[in-house]
Structure 1
């Protein structure tokens, strides 16, 4: 990967012909992984390595050792065997039913169908008749049909 600086914080990263923009100030990359995972991934890592910056400052606090220790500071006690559980009779007597709402058939109103790349790239043109070769109609509505003898 080659790194080309644009400004102090914004860098362009060439990854085998694909270009990505990494902003260290906002902790973003155009690949989306840096801001999603909140960890410097390959493009951000290349910039940090190129600038000789420590990656610790660009990781979320969730991944730092102090936060991990605070998360698991409270003891977690295992549950006893299922046979030893004390479940109140009022809970056992309750029947859990599925929700009453049933999704109606068909496409939801207001949501257009997502078109495939093939549909979007297709050039729309006029119909061409397979019988006479003229545009504007098909063979079913062709008036230039050869007459049967």
Structure 2
């Protein structure tokens, strides 16, 4: 449950799970920074808007409004014609594409760390098996089951 304490007309302190977030409706900001980043009210701002009985439309970016979406798709988008119907200018058609001129930086190249397999990440160790008898727990050197040499 969120507890809302107004500081001023626009600034409110919202307590959520023993953490305090500061919401400023005038600047459309919250200390959790989701309000600024996503440009729509975060959960703390929603709680303040609900408490003050305000409409959230004024606090959302125009990009999320239905009129903006309709304007974006107002212009028709036509698919490209078949490849045989493409008109490519001759200076582009026969233009030679070369590699970019990039100098290697001086010094030895950095080594990438190898990726660990699941067993290493979980901390599981592999049991050793003997190549002579196939029993786990020892190796060929300490095998007691190997055939005796005469």
Task: Please list, as runs of the form range in 1=range in 2, the aligned pairs for 1:1-149 lying within 5 A after superposition.
Answer: 1-102=2-103, 104=105
Deviations for 1:92-135, whole angstroms, at most 9, x for unmatched residues?
Answer: 222333432346358xxxxxxxxxxxxxxxxxxxxxxxxxxxxx
Q: Give the greater-gyration-radius structure (CA).
A: 2
Identify the range of structure 1 (62-71 vs 5-14) with the bigger mean alpha-carbon deviation: 62-71
Q: Secondary structure at the match of 1:48?
A: helix
Q: For 2:91 and 2:17, how far apart are their aligned partners in 1?
A: 64
Stretches (4+) displaced over 4 A: none
Q: For 1:97 and 1:27, how far apart are their aligned partners in 2?
A: 49
Cα gap change, 1:47 to 1:97, in 2 (>3 Å): farther
Report deviation, 1:24. Answer: 0.1
Deviations for 1:19-69, whole angstroms, at most 9, x for unmatched residues?
Answer: 211100000111111112111121111111121111011111222122222
Q: What is the TM-score with the length of structure 2 in the denominator? A: 0.62
Identify the range of structure 1 (22-31 vs 78-87) with the bigger mean alpha-carbon deviation: 78-87
Structure 1 unmatched runs, 5+:
107-149
Q: CA RMSD in A?
A: 1.9
Q: What is the TM-score with the length of structure 1 in the denominator? A: 0.62
Cα gap change, 1:100 to 1:12, in 2 (>3 Å): same
Cα gap change, 1:90 to 1:44, in 2 (>3 Å): same
Cα gap change, 1:98 to 1:24, in 2 (>3 Å): farther
Structure 2 unmatched runs, 5+:
108-150
Q: For 1:102 and 1:24, how far apart are their aligned partners in 2?
A: 51
